[in-house]
Amino acid sequence: MDADHLIPLLLPVVAWPLARFVAPRLPPRAAGWLLTVSSVVLAAGSTVTLLLLAFAGLSLVPAVAEAGHWSPDTLRNFDDVSIPASIAGGVLLVVVGARLVRTGVRYLRWARRMSRELDDHGRDGGVVVLPGEEPVAFAAPGRGGRIAVSTGMLAALAPAERRALLAHERAHLVLRHHRFLIAVTLSSALNPLLRPLGAATGFALERWADETAAERIGDRAVVARAVAKAALAGRRPHTGFALPAAGGPVPRRVSALMAAPAPTTPAAILAGVVALGLITLSAQTALDGAADLHDGIELAQASVPDRAPIGVREP
């Protein structure tokens, strides 16, 4: 495969500067979308490249070539086919495939377990009140979406702060933030280089919900106090794929709520555009690699007597 076609394997290294410098300077909604789209596209680009590398090597196997009716000798002379690269791509593909399956199974098990646990408790308007002194509050998908909050958390907050907390968790459900979260989680499973985007996305989603709650309540200070008290009330619970009220760097969330919303600067917009350009490059390069390999197979098929290339009907 041409060196240019390896770009999708290299571009995920931009995940760290994207998460560190670009996303914090964008509004939470824009940051959430940019980080999620970047994770999905970069993961897809690197995975497609590994698929192409592995398939290019398999295409030289006589049995595979015979089944596809192409000449392995012709493909062997094609620049986009490299045996060492194909072996490496195949090994990596197996590894990331196993990681993806493992993450998907973990999510399904967690969703079933969480659903069963919440079903054991009554719900009022989508809110499940959990008995217990430990302060817990999180939004969980499934069954139309539910908010779980413990009696310990309710006792730790004033009435206005409870409304702010519930508005925050309801924002997660209404805005489908769990879909963003599972998308970046699966993307990180496909490419570990994208892990910085996962943490940054989680923070962007919390900030997005904070701002939505502040708009609904009409008081940013109340939401800030609710977030701070929820974090100080007790240790952060392990809620798996749920979105806890005290998620992300709480001091940064509180500071952002106590300050007026910062305007988006031209530099931040430019950085976002550059990031979109890079992920577009990843997608386009992966597609170009697939097209080039397809052309090589067509040539290999044409070199076989009495065989028409792919997409060409025999008379």
Q: What are 28-58's pLDDT values in tens digits?
A: 999 999 999 999 999 999 999 898 888 877 7
Contact (CB, 8 A) for 28 and 211: yes
Is a pLDDT exceeding 50 seen at residue 315? no
Is a pLDDT exceeding 70 seen at residue 77? no
Q: Which residue has the tokens 């701070």?
A: 228
Is a pLDDT exceeding 60 seen at residue 275? yes
Q: What are 91-117's pLDDT values in tens digits?
A: 999 999 999 999 999 988 888 888 888
Is a pLDDT exceeding 90 seen at residue 63? no
β-strands 127-130, 137-140 pairing: unpaired
Overall average pLDDT of the 201-208 stretch? 92
pLDDT bucket at 21, cuts 50 / 70 / 90: confident
Helix or strand holding residue 66 (H, E): helix 62-68
Is a pLDDT exceeding 60 seen at residue 312? no
Overall average pLDDT of the 234-258 stretch? 75
68 compared with 204, residue with greater pLDDT: 204
Segment of 58-67, 180-189, 258-267 carrying the highest mean pLDDT: 180-189
> How far apart are the two ends of the chain, measured CA to CA in Å?
33
Is a pLDDT exceeding 60 seen at residue 313? no
Contact (CB, 8 A) for 298 and 291: no
At residue 223, the pLDDT reads: 93
Segment of 5-19, 125-139, 216-230 carrying the highest mean pLDDT: 216-230
Distance CA 105, CA 125 (A): 30
At residue 310, the pLDDT reads: 47
Residue 32 is encoded by which pair of tokens? 């959430």
Mean of all residue pLDDT scores within the chain:
83
Q: What are 2-17's pLDDT values in tens digits?
A: 566 678 888 888 888 8
Lowest mean pLDDT among 157-166, 185-194, 251-260: 251-260
At residue 92, the pLDDT reads: 92
Is a pLDDT exceeding 60 seen at residue 308? no
Contact (CB, 8 A) for 169 and 139: yes
pLDDT bucket at 212, cuts 50 / 70 / 90: very high
Distance CA 8, CA 196 (A): 17
CA distances to 145, 220, 238, 273 from 164, in Å: 18, 9, 22, 34
Q: Which DSSP letter does residue 155 get? A: H
β-strands 137-140, 243-244 pairing: antiparallel
In what order do the strands lie in the sheet containing 137-140?
123-124, 127-130, 146-150, 137-140, 243-244
Helix or strand holding residue 297 (H, E): helix 266-302
